[in-house]
Amino acid sequence: MEKQKIIGIISIVVIVVVIGYSLLNVYALEQLEFSGVDNIFRFFEMSTVNGKINICNNTFLPANFNQFNILIYFERELLGTFTVDSTNIMPDSVFEANGKYMSSSMAQSQSLFMHFDHLFSNSDNTIRIDPRKMDVVMQFQTTIIGIPYLVTEQHTAFDFWNMLNDENNLSC
């Protein structure tokens, strides 16, 4: 075989492997499962210094991301963002993600979070603020061959709260 053909074949194989690995990483990020620490999640606790959630990688592939954000919207306006820095989550393992919550109005965030935690935990049947006005968007920032890519999932606040408090949610 000619030298150019061998170099061309090796280059094609390297490109296919790099693109394949990136796409498998996106697949792994889409399969991640979430839970509160000890299956207890509260929005208010997420907004404090000790904000933590569990992330389970139930695939056979490592999942890595540059940044993970949980964006909280109330009445379609960004209330705040919970951010976890870059990490690599090994296959069939649970990662306890320590994050930081940032908001332009921390008092408003924490007041709403205490209300919704109380409402969603069935402690009070009185609805003072409509829970349908709060949405949660989970966003993983990663790259595909160096090009930034977002893996996004949107939930209502109630669905998100239930997902993170479900005892059977993690399969790791």
Q: Which CATH architecture has domain 1-165?
A: Sandwich (2.60)
What is the reported pTM? Answer: 0.82
Question: What is the per-residue pLDDT across 128-162, written as a single tens digit (0 to 9) for each?
Answer: 777 788 899 999 999 888 889 999 999 998 898 88
Question: What is the per-residue pLDDT across 10-21, written as a single tens digit (0 to 9) for each?
Answer: 989 988 888 888
Q: Are 29 and 142 in contact (CB under 8 A)?
A: yes
Q: Where are the domains of the chain?
A: 1-165
Q: Residue 124: pLDDT above 70? A: no
What pLDDT score does 112 carry? 83
Tokens standing for 87? 């990490």
What pLDDT score does 55 carry? 92
Q: Residue 122: pLDDT above 80? A: no
Q: Which of 39, 48, 50, 58 lies closest to 163 in space, CA to CA? A: 39
Q: Are 56 and 172 in contact (CB under 8 A)?
A: yes
What pLDDT score does 152 carry? 93
Question: What is the per-residue pLDDT across 45-94, written as a single tens digit (0 to 9) for each?
Answer: 888 867 889 999 999 999 999 999 999 998 889 989 999 999 999 999 99
Question: What is the per-residue pLDDT across 104-116, written as a single tens digit (0 to 9) for each?
Answer: 888 888 888 887 8
What pLDDT score does 107 carry? 83
